[in-house]
Amino acid sequence: MPPPIIEAHAFPTPKVEWPTLGLLALCYSTIALLTLLGGTLPLWLAFPLLALALALHSSLQHEVLHGHPFRNTRLNEALVFIPVGLFLPYRRFRDTHIAHHDDSRLTDPYDDPESNYMDPEIWHHLTPVIQKILLLNNTLLGRILIGPLVGMLYFYKDDLAAMLKGNRQIILPYILHFIGFAPLVWWLTAMSTLPLWAYILAAYAGFGLLKIRTYLEHRAHENVPARTVLIEDRGPLSILFLNNNFHIVHHEFPKLPWYLIPQLYEANKEGFQQKNEGYTYKNYREVFTKYLFRRKDEVPHPLYPAKPRHPKA
Task: Output the DSSP codes for 74-114.
Answer: HHHHHHT-S-TT-SS-HHHHHHHHHHHT-GGGTT-TTT-TT
Closest to 250 measured CA to CA, from 67, 52, 14, 55 = 67
Measured in residues, the chain has a length of 313
Tens digit of each residue's pLDDT (9 = 90 or more) over 291-306:
999 999 999 999 987 5
Q: Name 139's bridge partners.
A: 295
259-264: average pLDDT: 96
Answer whether residue 60 shows pLDDT above 90. Answer: yes
Closest to 142 measured CA to CA, from 87, 208, 198 = 208
Q: What is the mean pLDDT of the chain?
A: 93
Tens digit of each residue's pLDDT (9 = 90 or more) over 79-127:
999 999 999 999 999 999 999 999 999 999 999 999 999 999 999 999 9
8-34: average pLDDT: 89
| pLDDT value at residue 13 | 76
| pLDDT value at residue 308 | 46
Residues ≥6 apart with Cβ < 8 Å to 82: 180, 183, 184
174-197: average pLDDT: 96
Residues ≥6 apart with Cβ < 8 Å to 66: 254, 255
14-31: average pLDDT: 96
| pLDDT value at residue 194 | 95
292-307 as b/e: b if 16+ CB within 10 A: eeeeeeebbbeebeee
**Prediction pTM value:** 0.93
Tens digit of each residue's pLDDT (9 = 90 or more) over 32-56:
999 999 889 999 999 999 999 999 9
Reduce the DSSP state of residue 231 to 3 states and report it: strand
Q: Exposure of 106 by Cβ count < 10 A (0-12 exposed, 13-18 middle, 19+ buried)?
A: buried
Q: Residue 313's pLDDT band (boundaries 50, 70, 90)?
A: very low
| pLDDT value at residue 1 | 47
Closest to 120 measured CA to CA, from 300, 298, 297 = 300
